[in-house]
Amino acid sequence: MASGTVAVAPNSCCFHVSSAKPRFHSILMNHPPKSSLRMRAQGLGISETFSDLRRQGRVAFIPYITAGDPDLSTTAKALKLLDCCGADIIELGLPYNNPILDGPVIQASNKRALAGKTNMEAVISMLKELVPQISCPIVIFSYYNLILARRSEWFLSALEDAGAKGLIVPDLPFEESADLKREAAKKNVDMVLLTTPTTTNKKMKAISDASEGFIYLVSSAGVTGVRDTVNRQVQFLLKEIKEKTAKPVAVGFGISKPEHVKQVSDTIDLLLSSLVSEINTSKMLLQLSLWGADGVIVGSAIVKLLGEANSSEEGLKHVESFVASLTAALPRGDQGLGEEHASSFILQQRRKLWQVPRSASSSSLHQHH
Amino acid sequence: MAATATSVLGNPNLGLTKPPPSAFFGVRVPPSLERPRRFSSAPRPTLAAAVSCTMTNGATVVEAAENRTPGVGLRPDPFGRFGRFGGKYVPETLMYALSELEAAFWAVSKDEDFQKELDGILKDYVGRESPLYFAERLTDHYRRPNGEGPHIYLKREDLNHTGAHKINNAVAQALLAKKLGKKRIIAETGAGQHGVATATVCARFGLECIVYMGAQDMERQALNVFRMRLLGAEVRAVHSGTATLKDATSEAIRDWVTNVETTHYILGSVAGPHPYPMMVREFHAVIGKETRKQALEKWGGKPDVLVACVGGGSNAMGLFHEFIDDTDVRLVGVEAAGFGLDSGKHAATLTKGEVGVLHGAMSYLLQDDDGQIIEPHSISAGLDYPGVGPEHSYLKDLGRAEYNSVTDQEALEAFKRVSRLEGIIPALETSHALAHLEVLCPTLPNGTKVVVCCSGRGDKDVQTAIKHLQL
pLDDT digits (tens, 9 = 90+) for A208-236: 999 999 999 998 777 777 566 677 788 88
The whole-number average pLDDT for the span B136-150 is 97
Report which residue type is found at B128.
Answer: R
Give the tens place of pLDDT for each residue, B76-123.
Answer: 998 899 999 999 999 998 899 999 999 999 999 999 999 999 999 999
Buried b / exposed e over B152-186, threshold 16 CB at 10 Å, is bbbbbbbbbbbbbbbbbbbbbbbbbbeebebebbb
Catalytic residue status for A102: yes
Q: Given CB atoms, is B344 within the 8 Å cutoff of chain A? A: no
Query: Would you tell me how many other CB atoms lie within 10 Å of the CB of residue B459?
Result: 12
Is a pLDDT exceeding 70 seen at residue A147? Answer: yes
CB contact under 8 A, A148 and B355: yes
Residue (of A343, A317, A354, A341) closest to A57 by Cα position: A341
The whole-number average pLDDT for the span B392-402 is 97
Q: Given CB atoms, is A120 within the 8 Å cutoff of chain B? A: yes
The whole-number average pLDDT for the span B24-31 is 40
CB contact under 8 A, A196 and B91: yes
CB contact under 8 A, B95 and A150: no
ipTM: 0.82
From B53, B91, B359, residue closest to A101, measured CB to CB = B91
DSSP code of residue B90: S
Q: Given CB atoms, is A146 within the 8 Å cutoff of chain B? A: yes
**Do residues B218 and B460 make contact, with C-beta atoms less than 8 angstroms apart?**
no
- CB within 8 Å of B235: residues ≥ 6 apart: B195, B211, B213, B218, B225, B228, B229
The whole-number average pLDDT for the span A94-109 is 91
- CB within 8 Å of B186: residues ≥ 6 apart: B209, B210, B211, B212, B252, B255, B256, B259, B263, B264, B265, B266
For B452, phi then psi, to 5°, come to -105, 130
The whole-number average pLDDT for the span B406-433 is 97
pLDDT for res A129: 94
- What angle do helix axes A152-162 and A178-186 make, rounded to 10 degrees? 40
Which residues does chain B have within 8 Å of residue A147's beta carbon, measured at their own beta carbons? 371
Give the CA distances from residue A113 to residues A67, A160, A302, in Å, rounded to whole numbers and listed in that order.
7, 23, 15
Confidence of residue B296 (pLDDT cuts 50, 70, 90): very high
pLDDT for res A166: 96
- Strands (DSSP E) contained in chain A are 60-66, 90-93, 138-141, 166-168, 190-195, 215-218, 249-252, 295-298
Which residues make beta-bridge pairs with B309?
B334
| Helix (H/G/I), strand (E/B), else coil: A248 | coil
pLDDT for res A84: 92
Is a pLDDT exceeding 90 seen at residue A261? Answer: no
| Helix (H/G/I), strand (E/B), else coil: B300 | coil
**Spatial distance between the Cα atoms of A171 and A130, rounded to a whole number of angstroms:** 28
% of chain B residues with pLDDT over 90: 75
Burial class (CB in 10 A: 0-12, 13-18, 19+), A358: exposed
Q: Name the active-site residue from A69, A71, A91, A190.
A: A91
Query: Residue A262 half-sphere exposure, CB side, CA atoms within 13 Å?
Result: 2
Percent of chain B as helix, strand, coil, to the nearest 5: 45, 15, 40
pLDDT for res B241: 75
Rg, Å, chain A Cα set: 19
99-158 in chain B: CB under 8 A from chain A: none
Catalytic residue status for A339: no
Which residues make beta-bridge pairs with B133?
B154
Q: Sheet containing B361-365: which strands, arranged edge to edge? A: B81-82, B85-86, B361-365, B354-358
CB contact under 8 A, A146 and B240: no
Q: Return the residue in A123, A175, A182, A208 with the most chain B beta carbons within 10 A, the one to mutate for interface testing.
A: A175
pLDDT for res A30: 42
Q: What is the 3-state secondary structure of A19-53?
A: CCCCHHHHHHCCCCCHHHHCCCCCCCCHHHHHHHH
- Strands (DSSP E) contained in A286-352 are 295-298
Catalytic residue status for B188: yes
235-294 in chain B: CB under 8 A from chain A: 240-241, 246, 250, 253-254, 257-261
Q: Return the residue in B188, B249, B254 with the most chain A beta carbons within 10 A, the one to mutate for interface testing.
A: B254
Give the tens place of pLDDT for each residue, B201-215.
Answer: 999 999 999 999 999
**Do residues A12 and A5 make contact, with C-beta atoms less than 8 angstroms apart?**
no
Buried b / exposed e over A14-26, threshold 16 CB at 10 Å, is beeeeeeebebbe
Long-range contacts, A187-190 (Cβ 8 Å, 24+): A187/A156, A187/A157, A187/A159, A187/A160, A188/A160, A189/A156, A189/A159, A189/A160, A189/A164, A189/A165, A190/A45, A190/A46, A190/A47, A190/A139, A190/A165, A190/A166
Q: How many residues does chain A have?
A: 369
- Bridge pairing between strands B81-82 and B85-86: antiparallel
Is a pLDDT exceeding 80 seen at residue A19? Answer: no
Q: Given CB atoms, is A175 within the 8 Å cutoff of chain B? A: yes
Give the tens place of pLDDT for each residue, A20-47.
Answer: 343 334 333 444 444 444 444 457 899 9
Element (H, E) at B441: none
Query: Residue A170 half-sphere exposure, CB side, CA atoms within 13 Å?
Result: 28
- Strands (DSSP E) contained in A116-183 are 138-141, 166-168
DSSP code of residue B383: G
Which residues does chain B have within 8 Å of residue A206's beta carbon, measured at their own beta carbons? 54
Give the CA distances from residue B319 to residues A104, B155, B285, B454, in Å, rounded to whole numbers and listed in that order.
39, 9, 6, 10
What chain B residue is nearest to A121 in terms of C-alpha separation? B370
pLDDT for res B9: 34
Element (H, E) at A4: none
Cα angle: B200, vertex B202, B203; to 5 degrees: 65
**Spatial distance between the Cα atoms of A210 and A199, rounded to a whole number of angstroms:** 15
pLDDT for res B166: 95
Task: Give the pTM.
Answer: 0.82
Report which residue type is found at B72.
Answer: V
Report which residue type is found at B444.
Answer: L
Q: Name the active-site residue from B363, B405, B431, B455.
A: B455
Query: Residue B349 half-sphere exposure, CB side, CA atoms within 13 Å?
Result: 33
